[in-house]
Amino acid sequence: MSALKTFELRSPDGLRIAVTDAGASWMSCVVPVNGDDREVLLGYETPEDYLRQPGYLGAVVGRYANRIAGASFELDGRRFALDANEGPNQLHGGTGGFHRKVWDVTHQDEHTLELALRSEDGDQGYPGRLDVRVTYRVEAPLTVSVSFEARTDAPTLVNISSHAYFNLDGPGRDILDQQLQIAGSRYLPVRVDLIPTGEQQPVAGTPFDFRQPRRIGDALEALRRLDVQPACHDHCWLIDDPLGEDDAATLRSGDRQLTLALHSDAPGLQFYAGEFLPETPDRQGRPHLKHGGLAIEPEALPDSPHHPEWPQPGAVLRPGEVYRHRLTYRFLPSSSSPSSSSPATLADKT
């Protein structure tokens, strides 16, 4: 294998990101905040770490982000057995998913990086040869976009996302004082193994209600008081208007100096509060803190192949069709941040 590469992109207003061809992973995101540079993304020390990482930090995950029960699915009357890498289930595309591939760089300039990958027929059990492209772009004002595109030569499943972990207060702190808002009035309850039960439940009156900005530590404590399993936030929210202009989620730093607004066209958003991050090393090789970062992953709904009754779009891609998915991350320092009562105007709409 040739040497892995790292690429830096800069926006005109000082935002800097680093991306590696190892898993097409987003390694770093440095945001200017009131005269100081703030690293807001969790990461590993070297590009090589991204190919052997246990935590998917910054990785592009696919072919199917999140979980598929029983590591199998049926499509057009045929049953396909997938690589099972989380007990009997598959997580994030399998052991050799996109996060473990070295991607080809097809275009690079100061503001844009484009990477491509060919996933052959049978890769991790999926049918069809899939050609995938991901484009990272930075632009003013303080914006990162991550766009995915894929084409297949046979019917298959495609659900690609970015597994970036954010901590808007910077490394070495937890996220418990940060405020999260999710534009979703329903969520997917899960079994102990984090596979959806099939229900789509309202969030009102539950620890999963983030329709208004909510301190993450308070939501976690409310969940623990219920004495249910799993006692963690690793669930998918159903975005109320995924094709609209409102942001899917906003996150505000504990020091209230920085807000992240995330827009996506996906029907679901997985929020994981980083309970098991201590199993993953940081850039200095030390264990991350528990709740040292959070992942907010726009995606198709987990285990959707087993739930044709769900009204949300599925994840089947056929020859002649083009899969497209775009994520936009806008960073708003305090001078331009929405008020704490209504980040990105979502609170006024609930």
Cβ-based burial of 296 (10 A; exposed 0-12, middle 13-18, buried ≥19): buried
Both tokens assigned to 234: 């690793």
Catalytic annotation present for 297:
yes
Answer for the pair 79, 72: CB distance below 8 angstroms, yes or no.
yes
Options 92, 99, 291, 297, the catalytic residue: 297
d(CA 6, CA 122): 29
Given the residues 92, 99, 163, 325, the one annotated as active site: 163
Q: What is the DSSP letter of 185?
A: S
Q: Are 203 and 173 in contact (CB under 8 A)?
A: no
Q: Is 221 helix (H, G, I), strand (E, B) or coil?
A: helix
Half-sphere exposure of 76 (CA within 13 A, CB side): 8
Specify whether 163 is catalytic: yes
d(CA 117, CA 154): 17
Contact 162, 168 (CB under 8 A): no
- Radius of gyration from C-alpha coordinates of the chain: 19
The C-alpha atoms of residue 126 and residue 80 are separated, in whole angstroms, by: 7
The alpha carbon of 9 is separated from its chain's Cα centroid by a whole number of angstroms, namely: 20
Q: Which residues are catalytic?
A: 163, 297
